[in-house]
A and B are shown apart, each in its own frame.
Chain A
Amino acid sequence: MKHIRDRRLAVLVSTLTLGLSVLAGSAVAHGPDPFLAGGAFGQNQALNFSWRSGAVPVAAIQTAIKAAAADVTATRGSKAATFTYATTGGNPIGYGLGATCGVNGIACFTRTAPTSFTMWLREQGHVFDWGSLKWCQSYSVPPSGCFDVETIALDEFGHVEGLGHHVNEPDESDYLDAVVQTFSHAKPQVGWNVHAFGVCDVATLQRVYDVLSWSAKYSTCNLLATTLTVAAPATVVYGGSATAVATLKVTDASAYGRLGANPLSGRVVTLQTRAPGTTTWLVAGTMTAGATAGTYARTLTLTADVQVRAVFKAPTDEGLGGSISSTATIDVGPCKVAPCPMSAPAGSQ
């Protein structure tokens, strides 16, 4: 996952020096999955499916497809559409000879966002000119060369959401970063039985459908700069308290889709201070959750002028870059020399 570290560094560098132009999330190698033309479904849209009349999957295949639908809900990491089996579901999933897949396709889909979709899986034993199809779920002990229905169906559900094929490194060392892949893998190839969206699937789902909450983690396949600001009172009486309030957001960039300007709650933001005219910052402490989403607060008791700034270090477990706020200055005054009324006793400075 070296590329993730590289991207995080890139985010930091760009935040500080280059602006947003380098952060566009296009379909580049080992980046977020591309998104298909045709638009998206609604946020958290519930899509019900049923078995296509005359092409009902056998029981084991049904079970695996339903499991894949549950995998979508469990691992989408976003407000992407969900899929649920219902006997009256308006979106048919078929299995067998009637499949309209490409001549070499083991499974296929159509999508008409935001209204409907279809899915097909070829039948067990289907003869291609390159081999005969084996679904792992058709065996008590899945043989080498079989395809896992749950994995393949999850790939198709990903397509229905709008995900295009992940662009891998040539050696496919990042194959596990996505389920939606150009080349379906059979047992025992890498990723043949993965039952969760990969980080680069989730990255695109998040951009298109948004995250589930302001404290939800952002996919490590994402490349998101953050913006941190801090506000503090300009003056405070000697010995009085001043509360600095920081606001942390995803930087508002069009390339980020729905994620731009999202408030970021539940993160670790620290407050640093220094005396005016000095260069060394000291950590005042971790800021606590503020009154609104994405805000953080820390109160200082002051007897001298101080400069403050907030710092958000890039986390290691999500795809956010670090950021540092601009500096705010808090003056202790207007009385600067003791004795001050309602402040320090004479001789205390």
Chain B
Amino acid sequence: MATTRTRLIAAALPLLAVLVAGCAAQPTTPSVSAATTPAVATTPPLTASVVPATGRPGIEAPPDAELSVEGGDPVTGRLGTFAWRGGGSDSPWLPGTPIQVGAGETLRVTPTPDIAISGWSALLAPAASTGGEGAVNAGSGSTAVEVTAPGAGSWTLAVTIEFGDLGSATYSWLLEVP
């Protein structure tokens, strides 16, 4: 099981990277490997934001989703494709927000703000796979989102959550499992 301190560091990495990118003149390589996405032509500057540009999470746009493990700080997932209140946005398979977890730990995903979940499904793929090839079903349900962490390695976890008539959204995390 990862220590709390390790998790804090992992959770802080994206924020630190954003700050570095914002202060530096040169583009910074993202903390998530560019090799995990099929669309990358160049190493882009990091302008990380996990909230949609179009409105407040949970109101004009889908809520954020936080992944947490016991004893660790939650990490907000990267929002990808969603349909929300008469609109929507499409994305490819995305590299996720990094978080370090222990093998076999229970990963809990909760929307923020807390909006009722009507269904969810999770896919897990090796982080090195492009476009999610090799993804396997990591769980599904209609209430609380809980996924068991995989074995050692780097994995992309993509969780699609249904919010009843409000819509649905997909969030991604990069699971680093020592």
Contacts and interface: CB of A to CB of B under 8 A. Distances in A.
A259 interface: no
Interface string B120-162: 0101000000111111110000000000000000000010100
Contact of A183 (B53, B121, B131): B131
A102 B54 contact: yes
Interface of A: 36-38, 100-112, 127-134, 143-147, 152, 155-156, 159, 164-165, 167, 170-172, 182-187, 189
B47 A183 contact: no
B58 to A, nearest CB: 14
A112 B87 CA distance: 9
Interface stretch (B1-9, B32-40, B66-74): B32-40
Contacts of A147: 39, 92
Contact of A103 (B51, B93, B165): B51
B39 A152 contact: no
A321 B44 CA distance: 52
Q: Which of B39, B50, B133, B160 has the most CB of A within 10 A?
A: B39
A129 B44 contact: yes
Contact of B41 (A37, A106, A132, A184): A132
A102 B91 contact: yes
B46 interface: yes
Contacts of B91: 102, 104-106, 183-184
A270 to B, nearest CB: 43
A108 B93 contact: no
Interface residues of B, number: 54
Contacts of A37: 86, 165-167
Interface of B: 30, 32, 34, 37-42, 44-54, 61, 78-83, 86-95, 121, 123, 130-137, 158, 160, 165-168, 170
B134 to A, nearest CB: 8
Q: Is the interface of A mostly helix, strand, loop or mixed?
A: loop
A275 B40 CA distance: 73
A104 B82 CA distance: 10
Contacts of B38: 144-145, 185-187, 189
A197 to B, nearest CB: 16
Given A102-B82, A130-B34, A130-B40, 14 more contacts: A37-B86, A101-B54, A102-B80, A107-B89, A128-B44, A130-B94, A130-B95, A132-B40, A170-B136, A182-B80, A182-B81, A183-B170, A185-B38, A187-B38
Given A133-B39, A134-B39, A145-B38, A101 B89 contact: yes
Given A37-B165, A145-B40, A170-B136, A108 B88 contact: yes
A171 B135 contact: yes
A127 B170 contact: no
Nearest to A100: B54
A131 B41 contact: yes
